[in-house]
Structure 1
Amino acid sequence: MNLTPEQRVTLHGFNNLTKSLSFNMYDICYTKTKEEREAYLAYIDEQYNADRLTSILKGVADIIGAHVLNIAKQDYVPQGASVVYLVSEGPVVEVPTESFEESPGPLPDNVVLQLDKSHITVHTYPEYHPDEGISTFRADIDVSTCGEISPLKALNFLIHSFDTDIMTIDYRVRGFTRDINGHKLFIDHEISSIQNYIPDEVKDLYQMIDVNVYQENIFHTKCKLRAFDLNNYLFGHTKDELDPEEQQEITERLISEMDEIFYGKNIVMAGN
């Protein structure tokens, strides 16, 4: 609807719409040996441990104006971590008009949004291929809010918080709220694509595909980096240490891995 404050519909009671953002990111790496694989997993565990993830979720909470009620965090053995924030409405501030527009949200330098009962969670999943050639790190972040503002406004900050080769983003509005006449409202803002909440300079870096079900208020966007530099995917050495045949083989394996994640299906490589 993108209504100005003067145009906003008067509701009967609280805005009961639930808006859920699921942000999944993947980091892909080639680990030639068991030692490299173990070193990569140790690096990921340190880079995205429970304390670092807690800090990231704190930034999300600041952006959506949330008051943190409780934090649960855990580093797992042998790897991985989880953090759960239970939040409620934070200090009430005036919701700026631009909050209703399809545009990228802010980085966490001020509180600009408001919500009521809600939660924010993150779980990480380091894993590797049985032959130890490909290692993958996945982080799943869920932001669920009740009230006026879409958690998509935290998407810009989340993208900047992770080194991401592939992103899978889902957004859905559930339930309904009522105006003073009892008329149901199943969504309270216009949205044509999650891409409109991603800055142009980020969109330029990724190939993107949308799968949207507008009548159900379900939106899905997949993103994969356009550029490929083998040096960015080798852990502990550079491509100059590999002969051309090895470079080609590793490149094909990495691209195949990313394509499989992006398209959600296994791809049979030539010669396999």
Structure 2
Amino acid sequence: MSIGHKKLQLQGFNNLTKTLSFNIYDVCYADSALQREAYIQYIDEAYNAERLTAILTDVAAIIGANILNVAHQDYDPQGASVTMLISEEPLVAEQLPNFAKPGPLARSGLFPDAVVAHLDKSHITVHTYPESNPVTGISTFRADIDVSTCGRISPLRALNSLIHSFESDVVILDYRVRGFTRDVTGRKHFIDHNISSIQNYLSRDSKDRYQMVDVNVYQENLFHTKMVLKQFQLDDYLFCIEEKDLPEPERWRIQKLVRRELSEIFYGCNLSRELEFAG
């Protein structure tokens, strides 16, 4: 265990629980009920249980964890979930950096084989929620992901990989550290690394692409970051239609609808109907 670059000798196993939670949103406009149904089917297939299992398998490799068990399920009419029980690989974990820097985008061959020494409560879960609004034509896809680790391995290493694995228009991130671990003198440690913001673990391209806001409660080891794409291109939000085929009034109407949807998700509230959104 280390805080900054100073290593501490622990009494027994590192008992800190670190949890990184994602809410990832993809927003789309579909003109008709048939197109909305087609979008839901497309996104449901693109992120089915098999694909989600592959993503979480990469996450386990990135954070240096060993997969103990996987349960996955596709749901009718739509949605999927995967739960993965993991444990720390001690030889791997000791080689992983434990300070604020972006993690890799994909697994690499850098981790040697290691014997699992501890079965703990570490797990990775993902649930998907496709939905649509029949009145406005707006459809959204939400993926809820939790990466919870007990021990030295850090879920923050999975941050960049997960953001790049999904079509993320809005991302809500929460990171918390719970419990405590003792050093050999009996002193409690409630966190084993320095952190001022989740943003410290984001890659440069993510920082360039997203507008971000932090709400952190340092004394409680709670860190919250909200992200929304900076650049708005209407074609990125259209399904089965293209911007060039839309008359100007319709284009402006759809832009306002999509911008409102993105803003309401980002701020977590229904905004005033009188509030105007630029096209």
1:224 to 224, 228, 235: 228
Question: Offset of 1:181 from its aligned partner?
Answer: 1.3
What is residue 100 of structure 1 aligned with on the other side?
98
Counterpart contact for 2:19–2:176, Cα < 8 Å = yes
1:87 aligns with 2:86: yes
Counterpart contact for 1:210–1:222, Cα < 8 Å = yes
Counterpart of 1:101 in structure 2: which amino acid? F
Rounded Cα–Cα distance in structure 2 between residues aligned with 1:195 and 1:50: 29
Counterpart contact for 1:33–1:133, Cα < 8 Å = yes
Question: Offset of 1:110 from its aligned partner?
Answer: 3.2
Rounded Cα–Cα distance in structure 2 between residues aligned with 1:18 and 1:116: 14
Residue-by-residue CA offset, 1:122-154 (whole Å, 9 max, x unaligned): 000001113151000000110000111321111
1:257 to 251, 256, 261: 261
Counterpart contact for 1:29–1:135, Cα < 8 Å = yes
Counterpart contact for 2:88–2:153, Cα < 8 Å = no
Aligned length: 269
Rounded Cα–Cα distance in structure 1 between residues aligned with 2:157 and 2:119: 16
Question: Offset of 1:66 from its aligned partner?
Answer: 1.6
1:25 aligns with 2:57: no
Q: Percent identity?
A: 57
What is residue 75 of structure 1 aligned with on the other side?
74
Rounded Cα–Cα distance in structure 1 between residues aligned with 2:102 and 2:201: 4
Question: Offset of 1:100 from its aligned partner?
Answer: 1.7
Counterpart contact for 2:72–2:81, Cα < 8 Å = yes
Counterpart of 1:259 in structure 2: which amino acid? S
**Segment of structure 1 superposing worse, 213-222 or 141-150:** 141-150
Superposition pairs for residues 117-266 of structure 1, below 5 Å?
117=120, 118-131=122-135, 133-266=137-270
RMSD over aligned Cα, in angstroms? 1.9
TM-score in terms of structure 2 length: 0.92
Counterpart contact for 2:33–2:134, Cα < 8 Å = no
Residue-by-residue CA offset, 1:206-256 (whole Å, 9 max, x unaligned): 110000000000000000001111111110010111110000010001000
Question: Offset of 1:268 from its aligned partner?
Answer: 2.2
Rounded Cα–Cα distance in structure 1 between residues aligned with 2:92 and 2:261: 45
Rounded Cα–Cα distance in structure 2 between residues aligned with 1:50 and 1:34: 25
Counterpart of 1:219 in structure 2: which amino acid? F
Counterpart contact for 2:149–2:155, Cα < 8 Å = yes
Secondary structure in 2 aligned to 1:202? helix
Question: Offset of 1:269 from its aligned partner?
Answer: 3.0
Rounded Cα–Cα distance in structure 2 between residues aligned with 1:75 and 1:94: 32
**Segment of structure 1 superposing worse, 111-120 or 185-194:** 111-120
Question: Offset of 1:94 from its aligned partner?
Answer: 6.0
What is residue 35 of structure 1 aligned with on the other side?
34
Rounded Cα–Cα distance in structure 1 between residues aligned with 2:62 and 2:9: 25
Counterpart contact for 1:116–1:147, Cα < 8 Å = no
Relative to structure 1, the CA distance from residue 116 to residue 213 in structure 2 (aligned partners, 3 Å threshold; closer, same or farther) is farther
Rounded Cα–Cα distance in structure 2 between residues aligned with 1:17 and 1:32: 49
Secondary structure in 1 aligned to 2:91? coil
